[in-house]
C-alpha cells in the first residue's frame, strides 16, 4: 500500500510513535526532499537506511505510475518536508493514480500547520476553507481575494514571508481594512509567534519584515443587511472600478444575501451605456 505520513512542522517532539515505527521499518520512502528525510531519521535516532526516492512537484506526475506499481509489492511510505503530504505538498497525483489503479492508500495522521493555526487563531473553527498559497502576481492575488469577498467561512492561507506584507495590504484593500486577521509564524518552534489584529494593522506590522513559515487566518465575511437600492449602488461602484457587472452582482449578492439576478438586472438598467465610436469622416 501507499502510506501518507505526517511529519513534524517544527518541534521534533511532535513525531508520533506510529511515525517513528514506520520510519524504522520502511524499506522504501518517497520524500519531497531526501536530505530532509535523512536529517529526520538522524534527529529521531533511527538507524534504518531505506531506499529514498525523490518525489516533488516537478517529477510527481512522471513518477506516479512507477511508484504505484512499486506499492503493489511493498509498503511505500510518502513524506513531505513538514506536515501531511498532499496538503500544498506533493502526493495528490500519486494518490489519484493509486486509487485509479486499485492500490490501497492509508495515512499516519499527525501535525498540520492548517489545523494548528486555525485552533490558536481565535476565529470561528466550525466552518473553514483552506485556500493554499495566494498568487504571486499582485493583480492575480487581488483577483483571487475578490472571488473570496463574500466567503463567510474562516479562510486559511499559506504565505511566503517575503510576500506577507503585500498580501495583507491586498486583504485590507479587497476584503476590508477592519477584517480580522491572524498571522501564525514558526508554529511549534522556539520562536513561535501569533499576531492578531485587523488586516491594516497586520499589514503595517509585516512591512517591518517577517521571517519563518507563515500561516494566515482571515475571518469570513459578515452578512450585511441592506436594501436592493443600496446593493445596486454597490454593484455599480464595483463596475466603475473595473469589475464586470456579472462578477460585481455576484460579489454583492454573496455579501448581502440579495438575489444575484435581481442585482444584475436592476444594475443593468442603471448602468451607463458605452458610447459608440463616431463614424469615420473619410470612409474608405
Report how many domains make up the chain: 3
Of 53, 80, 111, the residue that ends a domain is: 111
Q: Which grid coordinates are listed for 89?
A: 505538498
Domain at 29, CATH number: 3.40.1010.10
Q: What is residue 255's predicted lDDT score, i.e. its pLDDT? A: 79
Claim to verify: residue 189 and residue 233 sit in the same structural domain? no
Percent of the chain with pLDDT over 70: 96
Claim to verify: residue 118 and residue 105 sit in the same structural domain? no
Claim to verify: residue 42 and residue 93 sit in the same structural domain? yes
Residue 101 structural domain: 2-111
Q: What is residue 167's predicted lDDT score, i.e. its pLDDT? A: 98
Q: Domain for residue 195, yes or no?
A: yes
Claim to verify: residue 208 and residue 233 sit in the same structural domain? no
Q: What is residue 254's predicted lDDT score, i.e. its pLDDT? A: 78
Ranges of residues in the chain with a pLDDT under 70 are: 273-284
Contact 235, 249 (CB under 8 A): yes
Q: What is the mean pLDDT of the chain?
A: 93
Q: Domain for residue 147, yes or no?
A: no
Claim to verify: residue 107 and residue 118 sit in the same structural domain? no
Strand ranges (DSSP E) for the chain? Answer: 2-5, 28-31, 51-54, 76-79, 105-108, 128-133, 154-159, 180-185, 193-198, 214-218
Q: Which DSSP string corresponds to 109-136?
A: ----HHHHHHHHH-S--SSEEEEEEPPS
**Where do we find the cell 445596486?**
232
Contact 204, 194 (CB under 8 A): no
Amino acid at each position: 500500500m501507499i502510506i501518507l505520513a505526517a511529519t513534524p512542522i517544527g518541534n521534533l517532539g511532535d513525531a508520533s510513535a506510529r511515525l517513528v515505527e514506520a520510519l524504522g521499518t520502511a524499506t522504501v520512502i518517497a520524500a519531497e526532499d531526501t536530505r530532509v528525510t535523512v536529517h529526520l531519521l538522524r534527529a529521531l535516532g533511527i538507524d534504518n537506511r531505506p531506499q529514498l526516492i525523490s518525489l516533488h512537484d516537478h517529477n510527481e506526475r512522471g513518477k506516479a505510475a512507477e511508484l504505484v506499481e512499486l506499492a503493489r509489492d511493498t509498503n511505500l511510505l510518502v513524506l513531505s518536508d513538514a506536515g501531511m503530504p498532499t496538503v500544498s505538498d506533493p502526493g495528490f497525483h500519486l494518490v489519484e493514480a493509486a486509487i485509479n489503479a486499485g492500490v490501497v492508500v492509508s495515512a499516519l495522521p499527525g501535525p498540520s500547520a492548517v489545523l494548528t493555526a486555525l485552533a490558536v487563531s481565535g476565529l470561528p473553527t466550525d466552518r473553514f476553507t483552506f485556500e493554499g498559497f495566494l498568487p504571486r502576481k499582485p493583480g492575480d492575488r487581488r483577483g483571487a481575494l475578490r472571488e473570496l469577498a463574500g466567503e463567510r467561512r474562516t479562510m486559511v492561507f499559506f504565505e511566503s514571508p517575503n510576500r506577507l506584507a503585500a498580501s495583507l495590504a491586498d486583504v485590507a484593500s479587497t476584503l476590508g481594512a477592519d477584517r480580522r486577521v491572524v498571522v501564525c509564524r514558526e508554529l511549534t518552534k522556539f520562536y513561535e509567534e501569533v499576531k492578531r489584529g485587523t488586516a491594516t494593522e497586520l499589514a503595517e506590522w509585516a512591512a517591518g519584515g517577517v521571517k519563518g513559515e507563515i500561516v494566515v487566518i482571515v475571518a469570513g465575511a459578515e452578512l450585511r443587511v441592506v436594501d436592493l437600492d443600496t446593493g445596486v449602488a454597490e454593484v455599480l461602484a464595483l463596475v466603475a472600478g473595473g469589475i464586470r457587472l456579472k462578477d460585481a452582482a455576484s460579489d454583492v449578492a454573496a455579501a448581502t444575501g440579495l438575489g444575484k439576478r435581481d442585482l444584475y438586472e436592476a444594475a443593468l438598467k442603471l448602468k451607463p451605456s458605452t458610447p459608440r465610436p463616431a463614424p469615420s469622416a473619410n470612409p474608405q
